[in-house]
Structure 1
Amino acid sequence: MPQITVDYSRTLEPAFDRGGFARALHEAVVEIAAAKPDACTTQFRPSTFTASGYADPADGEHAAVHVTVGLLAGRGDETKARLTEAVLDLLRDHLAGQDAAVHASAEIRDLDPSYRKFFRLNP
């Protein structure tokens, strides 16, 4: 916890500072949602095809990025809203120089009570 996924259009790769974004996002989650730094895990999942409205996807005029942050239950709506706004601000900062229109969104959700995790170091 937290479990973070970043789905993004592959066309964003040249302009998306994923490493810097992950580090800054982990810091924000620790500060705002009281997560433990070592528990923050982010997976980036590039998409090869993005469609938006009636625009021709082949033109590459639109790109999308969506961040989902799953937290253990117990954070209030205000905390989740603050974290959502922080995520969007960080996306603005780490998507500099992008030519396409970018549709950015974020969602903070509670992990299901069945959530479990293990961590293992390789010997």
Structure 2
Amino acid sequence: MPQITVDHSGAMSPSFDRGAFARALHTLVVEIAAAKPEACKTLFREADFTAFGYEDPAEQRHAIVHVTLGLLAGRTDETKAKLTEAVLELLREHVAGDGFVLHASAEVRDLDPSYRKYEG
């Protein structure tokens, strides 16, 4: 915990500093949600194809990114909202909107009580 997933349009990859974003994101999660630094894990998933409205997806004038943060239960709604707002601000800082409109979203969800992990 936390389990973080970043889904994003492939078209924005050259403009998205994923390494710097992940480091800054982990710092935020530690500061805001009281996670341990060594527990922060982020998986980036690049989508080959995304579509926006009625536009021709080949034009790639829009990029989509969604960040999901799975945390153990117990954080207040205020903490979760503060974290998602901070994540959106980080995206503004780490994605250079070169020729596209960025559509960014973030959510914090509680991990199910059945959550288990393995390291080895």
Q: Shorter-normalised TM-score: what interval?
A: over 0.9
2: CA distance between counterparts of 1:22 and 1:33? 16
Partner of 1:36: 36
- Give deviations 1:78-100, integer Å, cap 9, x for gaps: 00000000100000000024221
Alignment of 1:11-26 (within 5 A): 11-26=11-26
Aligned length: 120
- Residue 77 (1) aligns with residue 77 (2): yes
Where 1:14 maps in the other structure, the secondary structure is helix
Stretches of structure 2 that go unaligned for 5 or more consecutive residues are none
- Residue 112 (1) aligns with residue 105 (2): no
Q: CA deviation at 1:43?
A: 0.3
Alignment of 1:52-71 (within 5 A): 52-71=52-71
1: CA distance between counterparts of 2:106 and 2:97? 21
Q: CA deviation at 1:13?
A: 0.8
2: CA distance between counterparts of 1:97 and 1:116? 38
Stretches of structure 1 that go unaligned for 5 or more consecutive residues are none
- Give deviations 1:56-108, integer Å, cap 9, x for gaps: 10111111000000000000000000000010000000002422111100000
- Give deviations 1:27-55, integer Å, cap 9, x for gaps: 00000000000000000000001101111
Alignment of 1:83-94 (within 5 A): 83-94=83-94
Where 2:15 maps in the other structure, the secondary structure is coil
Where 1:50 maps in the other structure, the secondary structure is coil
What is the identity percentage for the equivalent residue pairs of Structure 1 and Structure 2? 70
- Residue 102 (1) aligns with residue 102 (2): yes
Where 1:7 maps in the other structure, the secondary structure is strand
